[in-house]
Structures are given as C-alpha cells and as structure tokens.
Amino acid sequence: MARLTIVKVGGKVVENPDTLNSFLEEFRKITGNKILVHGGGQTATLLSEKLGLKTMMVDGRRVTDENTLEIATMVYGGLINKKIVARLQAMAINAIGLTGADLDLVRARKRAVAEVDYGFVGDVESINSRELKLLLNENVVPVVAPLPMTGKGSC
C-alpha cells in the first residue's frame, strides 16, 4: 500500500466555512492515501444549548452523558461529517463519511473512572485496518467521526 497520511482536524476548523475550505484545499494537496478524522464540539455544544441541555466540561474535556452522546452522534456522525464529505466530493476527491461504528472501524472501552467520570467517553482499543485498507485501495478517502463502538452494540 502507498504512503498513508492521517490528519485530525478540530472543530474550530471544520465549524467555520472559510477555515474548512482553506483546510480542505491543503488536505487535497496531500499525495498518497489519506484519512481525515474530525471534531465538532462547538456545534454539539450549541445544539445542546438549543435543546436546553447543559454541556459539562472538566479541564476542557466534555463529560458525555446519554443525551450528550445522542447529540454528539447527530453532530459528528451526521451534520459535520457529511458537510466535509460533500466539500471533498465537490473537489473531485472520492470520500466516504464514517464513524468508528461503521465497519466496526474503531473499538473502544469506557474510560476508567479516576478523579472524574467522563461518562460515555472511551479509550481506543483497536482499529479495523482491514476495512480501511479496502477503501484506500479503491482510492476512497475515509472521513471519520470520532464515535467508536464498544463491541456490545453501542457507541
């Protein structure tokens, strides 16, 4: 397989149309296989507020209860992921939007409770590289939202 570049881009970039366009122009220039992993926390926070839900943060990290997980799934796996994919497609880059749950790409376990219980926040245990290789071999750029699977039927 050719060289692989994995780029993680935060919500501050992907949530602003101008910075997203600039970023994607630079991303397009990367040669070889590439994977884009993205955030979108500010949009999730704004949607939570619109729905009357308070976002809880501890030392800059989101505490993810059940309602927050549902919002994160909608925002990361839906709205933001599909905006990025649509822009890449418009740039003639064949992209597919995925979450860690799709194709069982990312397995995680619930983060152990130490001083803080972050709720449904997880730590990555494994990556399904076989499925990613299949996509990359077909010149498809995976755009991955950070929503892993537990292996027990939940994100």
Instruction: Note down pLDDT in tens along the chain; length 155 residues.
Output: 578 999 999 888 988 999 999 999 999 999 999 999 998 888 888 999 999 998 888 888 888 888 988 998 999 999 999 999 999 999 999 999 999 999 999 998 888 888 888 888 888 999 999 999 999 999 999 999 988 877 665 55
Alpha helices in 54-140 (DSSP H): 66-74, 81-90, 129-137
The domain locations on the chain are: 4-107
Q: How far apart are CA 98 and CA 110, in angstroms?
A: 21
Q: For residue 14, how many C-alpha atoms fall within 13 Å in the half-sphere facing its CB? A: 30
Tell me 87's DSSP state.
H
pTM score, whole prediction:
0.89
CATH value of 4-107 in 3.30.70.360, 3.40.50.300, 1.10.3720.10, 3.40.1160.10: 3.40.1160.10
The first and second tokens of residue 129, run together, are: 């590289």
Residue 11 is encoded by which pair of tokens? 């919500």
